[in-house]
Amino acid sequence: MADVILVLNAGSSSIKFRAFDIEGAQLALVSHGQVEGLFTAPHFVAYNAKGEKTGEKSWGEGAKLEHSDAIAHLGAFLRGHGAGHRLIGVGHRVVHGGAHFTKPVLTSPEVLDQLDKLTPLAPLHQPHNIKPIRIIAERNPGLPQVACFDTAFHATQAPIAQAFALPESITKNGVRRYGFHGLSYEYIASALPDIAPEAARGRTVVAHLGNGASLCAMRAGKSVASTMGFTAVDGLMMGTRCGNLDPGVLLYMLDELGMNARDIEDVLYRQSGLLGVSGISGDMRALLASSEERARFAVDLYVYRIGRELGSMGAALQGLDAIVFTAGIGEHSKEIRQRVCEAAAWWGIELDASANADASANGGARISTASSKVSAWVIPTNEELMIARHALALIDRQRKGAAE
Ligand code: ADP
């Protein structure tokens, strides 16, 4: 009977899942999918490893599905489709590990209480990430569960890279730069030695360009600096988040525009970025396909901001050997990759246009010329596989400990 690890990525209105078969020490994807629109129009869909649909259910417009109902549905689906498989543990994506959790951890009631305390640092994500862990622990107390943190990879940054120039009365509350997208960066760091050994050893900036977007400066595969800071709204312009902003703008919104904290949160997280600037869409594909001037300007600003922040990451690294593109836009948009490389040509990046055009189809490759001083790469990320690897390692260790 094959052992299986389930990976859950739970948000406020959706739960994404991936199930991995363990074959020897290898993890192979067997099933993936999601329940989305939990409180508006719940919809479940699942696929097998070949991408063939294996399950689907809609609850209808206006229906409400609690996280616990969604997990019950998912559990029943996986049991129904899991003949010959035995679930040995669940790995969870948890946005914030704070200063304490710098590695993945087996969860317990005490650990969950500590993670609850970090909710003020990530109020939009942390409670939803933790909820499924408690739901599963209640129903299946013996099943090991592992929390993996988006902040943990950045724990290697020097204190100076993490500090804000604020008084201690504020910073003593944990107000500092943490950085996010850590599971994506950790996966890329783990893939680099095989794909691009020099980039693995050298000074590399990884550009995670999805709906959320950030850059990570890595030296020898370790995080040295990143564009996201205290929250996942800092740094680059994103789908609907503004990125780097003069804090004086927040005071202006409060004092002059009569906005309260929740109004401002809505603007910063949901009404800004590509959506806010274009007034059309937060989806890069829609903007690239649009002939409207506002769409063009939003894409121009998106690329310009990456170029500016790339300079900052390069300064933190004292030079640049390689740049890696990943996540939705980074993996699939040859146009954005080309434009970012053009904006960064002064670093010594020389794009190979045909390699760049083919990279999306090939799912990972070098896209710079052989003579380019700084190499450029496309590497598809796989945060869920990273979580499954961590979960497997901790579960193995727990089993070995119990056997001794
Ligand atoms: P998330 O951060 O939610 O995981 P993704 O990594 O899937 O999101 O990235 C979503 C973004 O990727 C969207 O802006 C989408 O338009 C963009 N994207 C996906 N495919 C393409 C493509 N072929 N060309 C341009 N943008 C793309």
| Domain end marker among 118, 149, 180 | 149
Does residue 358 sit in the same domain as residue 298? yes
**Probe target for ligand 1 pocket from 125, 184, 208, 329, with the most ligand atoms within 8 Å of CB:** 329
Q: Flag whether 292 is marked binding.
A: no
Instruction: Please provide the distance, in angstroms rounded to a whole number, between the alpha carbons at the two ends of the chain.
Output: 24
Q: Does 211 contact ligand 1 (Cβ within 6 A)?
A: yes
Sheet holding 2-10, edge to edge: 53-58, 43-48, 26-36, 15-23, 2-10, 85-94, 145-149, 105-106
Residue 11 inside a domain? The answer is yes
Interval 91-128: pLDDT, tens: 999 999 999 999 999 999 999 999 999 998 888 899 99
Last residue of a domain, one of 116, 133, 149: 149
The two structure tokens encoding residue 64: 């409400």
* Separation of CA 319 and ligand 1 centre (Å): 29
CATH number at residue 22: 3.30.420.40
Last residue of a domain, one of 149, 182, 212: 149
In the sheet where 375-378 sits, what is the strand order? Answer: 222-226, 213-219, 203-209, 322-326, 375-378, 365-366
Whether residue 259 is found in the same domain as residue 369 = yes
Question: Which of 333, 338, 339, 356 has the most ligand 1 atoms within 8 A of CB, as the residue to mutate?
Answer: 333
Ranges of residues in the chain with a pLDDT under 50 are none
Quote the percentage of the chain above a pLDDT of 70: 100
Closest ligand 1 atom to residue 381 Cα is 6
Ligand 1, atom 19: nearest CA belongs to which residue? 328
Per the domain annotation, does 159 fall within a domain? no
Q: Kindly state whether residue 179 falls inside one of the protein's structural domains.
A: no
Catalytic annotation, residues: 150
Integer CA distances (angstroms), 64 to 15, 72, 131, 389, in order:
14, 14, 17, 33
> Could you identify the atom of ligand 1 that is nearest to the CA of residue 336?
25
Of 259, 218, 211, 237, the C-alpha closest to 340 is: 237
* HEC letters along the chain: CEEEEEEEEECCCCEEEEEEEEECCEEEEEEEEEEECCCCCCEEEEEECCCCEEEEEECCCCCCCCHHHHHHHHHHHHHHHCCCEEEEEEEEEECCCCCCCCCCEECCHHHHHHHHCCHHHCCCCHHHHHHHHHHHHHHCCCCCEEEEECCHHHHHCCHHHHCCCCCHHHHCCCCCCCCCCHHHHHHHHHHHHHHCHHHHHCEEEEEEECCCEEEEEEECCEEEEECCCCCCCCCCCCCCCCCCCCHHHHHHHHHCCCCCHHHHHHHHHHCCHHHHHHCCCCCHHHHHHCCCHHHHHHHHHHHHHHHHHHHHHHHHHCCCCEEEEEHHHHHHCHHHHHHHHHHCHHHCECECHHHHHHHHHHCCEECECCCCCEEEEECCCCHHHHHHHHHHHHHHHHHHHHHC
User: What local confidence, expressed as pLDDT, does residue 25 receive?
Assistant: 78
Q: pLDDT value at position 324?
A: 98
142 and 209 both lie in a single domain: no
The closest residue, in CA terms, to atom 4 on ligand 1 is 210
Whether residue 376 sits in one domain with residue 251 = yes
Within-domain flag for 290: yes
Same domain, 120 and 33: yes
Helix axes of 293-317 and 334-343: crossing angle, nearest 10 degrees = 50
258 assigned ligand-binding residue: no
Same domain? For 217 and 145 the reply is no
In a domain, 177, yes or no: no
Confidence (pLDDT) at 400:
84
The C-alpha angle 100, 381, 161, rounded to 5 degrees, equals 40
Same domain, residue pair 295 and 213:
yes
Position 106 in a domain:
yes
Encoded tokens for 377:
């790469």
Indicate whether 72 and 7 sit together in one domain: yes
CA of 330 from ligand 1 middle (Å) equals 8
Q: The whole model's pTM is what?
A: 0.95
Is 105 inside a domain boundary? yes
pLDDT of residue 24: 79
Q: Which domain holds residue 288?
A: 196-383
Residues 224 and 143 in one domain: no
Pocket probe mutation, ligand 1, options 269, 285, 334, max atoms within 8 Å of Cβ: 285
User: Is 248 a known ligand-binding residue?
Assistant: no
Distance 109 CA to ligand 1 centre (A): 36
Alpha-carbon distance 44 to 336, whole Å? 32
State whether 283 and 138 are in the same domain. no
- Segment 252-279, tens digit of pLDDT: 999 999 999 999 999 999 999 999 999 9
* CA–CA gap between residue 214 and residue 374 (Å, rounded): 20
Say if residue 286 is in the same domain as residue 356: yes
Residue 399 lies in a domain: no
Q: What is the pLDDT of residue 85?
A: 84
Q: How many domains does the chain have?
A: 2
Instruction: Indicate if ligand 1 lies below 6 Å from the C-beta of 228.
Output: no
Same-domain check for residues 76 and 200 = no
The answer to whether the CB of 368 falls within 8 A of the CB of 351 is yes
